[in-house]
Amino acid sequence: MKKYDVAAYIWPAYTGDEPRTRIFWPEGIGEWQSVKNATKKFPDHNWPRKPVWGYVNEADPYVMEMQISAAADHGVNTFIYDWYWYDGRPFLENCLCDGFLKAKNNSRMKFYLMWANHSVNYTWDIRNSDDQSTVIWDGAVDRRNFDVICRRLIEKFFSQPNYYKIDGCPVFMIYDLHNLVRGLGGVDETRRALDNFRDMTARAGYAGLHLQLTAWSEHAVNLSGVDTNAQGSTRDAVKLLGFDSISHYQFVHFVNIDRDYREILADVRREWERIDRDYEGTPYFPHISVGWDNNPRFTSFRPGIVRGNTPEAFEEGLRMAKEYVDTHPSLPVPLVTINSWNEWTETSYLQPDDLYGYGYLEAVRRVFGSHT
């Protein structure tokens, strides 16, 4: 049976071990606080939900050993950790560094990082989440900070024996293209910074660096880094900056999600076809999301909820992604990305709950098989 790399994103906020999370979740259990306290917003709302495994600390290596086993047994063999850097230092590294990397069985899983370089407002704090305008931390970084980040990534993470590589090149994904260019001062400066990152990685003994970009809807990107009319499309920026591949993070970024899941899948397929046409020469790794409903983060009702995203419907999405990989033999690896392992407050997770049990994980195993 053909083997696939099935990679699930991890939102590393289900721990109280990071002191700076207390400003959002003062109970000291990370964003489990919002999951635990979530309520229905309308009569048919499928909340509250409870995790079968409980409100566990995902920065605990014993917890992660259990989760690694469950993931690999059901066909997920790679974790993509959301990785953060604010105010000149890392944020939310505990789940990766203290949990996953200290788990005795982590050799069963590969991992790589997605730099979630978005700015932070009050979305994570349900007491103030209706205020979406206040910026707590800016996700853009200047060149000095960027070089510090590169050294940390190479020394602390790329060096791990199970770091995910393509053709010997560590894979590093960047989430927010606009913030990247804004912080580094324009597309030319960004290209120089990324080229230096590649050189640093090669000097550390790797075949190179595989830079991956999170795709959103096609939209204008400020290529200057300042307030000018120097605009281009995401496609232009991918070429100018030399990204090696693209994938998505969430369906909500590029389709209308306030409808039935199977209707959404039809538009997702059309988006893949557009990417094939418009990004010719840049590999696209197909992405499937479990769902979307971020009402657990808000006291008031938030419109935009995926409906009908049963494990059976989700399995149809997985088979669509598998078909895409099988019909694109030029892809450097048979990689599929999934949102997500544990985005509970966005209602897009593989972990078992009291609604579908292990249904989503069983769907992955039926399509892709288990991993030893």
Domain that holds residue 90: 5-368
Asked if residue 335 lies in contact with residue 7, where contact means CB atoms within 8 angstroms, the answer is yes
Average model confidence (pLDDT) for the chain? 95
Q: What per-residue confidence (pLDDT) applies to 221? A: 53
Alpha helices in the chain (DSSP H): 32-36, 61-73, 94, 143-152, 177-184, 187-203, 234-241, 261-278, 311-326, 359-368
Give Cα 343 to chain centroid, integer Å. Answer: 9
Q: What per-residue confidence (pLDDT) applies to 165? A: 98
C-alpha distances (whole Å) from 88 to each of 10, 68, 142 are 22, 31, 10
Q: What per-residue confidence (pLDDT) applies to 234? A: 81
Count of beta carbons in the 10 Å neighbourhood of residue 195: 13
Q: What is the pLDDT of residues 2-51, one digit of tens each?
A: 899 999 999 999 999 999 999 999 999 999 999 999 999 999 999 999 99
Q: What is the pLDDT of residues 165-198, one digit of tens each?
A: 999 999 999 999 999 999 999 999 999 999 999 9
Count of beta carbons in the 10 Å neighbourhood of residue 229: 6
Question: For the chain, how many structural domains are there in total?
Answer: 1
Distance CA 57, CA 62 (A): 9
Q: What per-residue confidence (pLDDT) applies to 226? A: 40
Residue 227 binned pLDDT confidence (cut-offs 50, 70, 90): very low
User: Which domain CATH number covers 148?
Assistant: 3.20.20.80
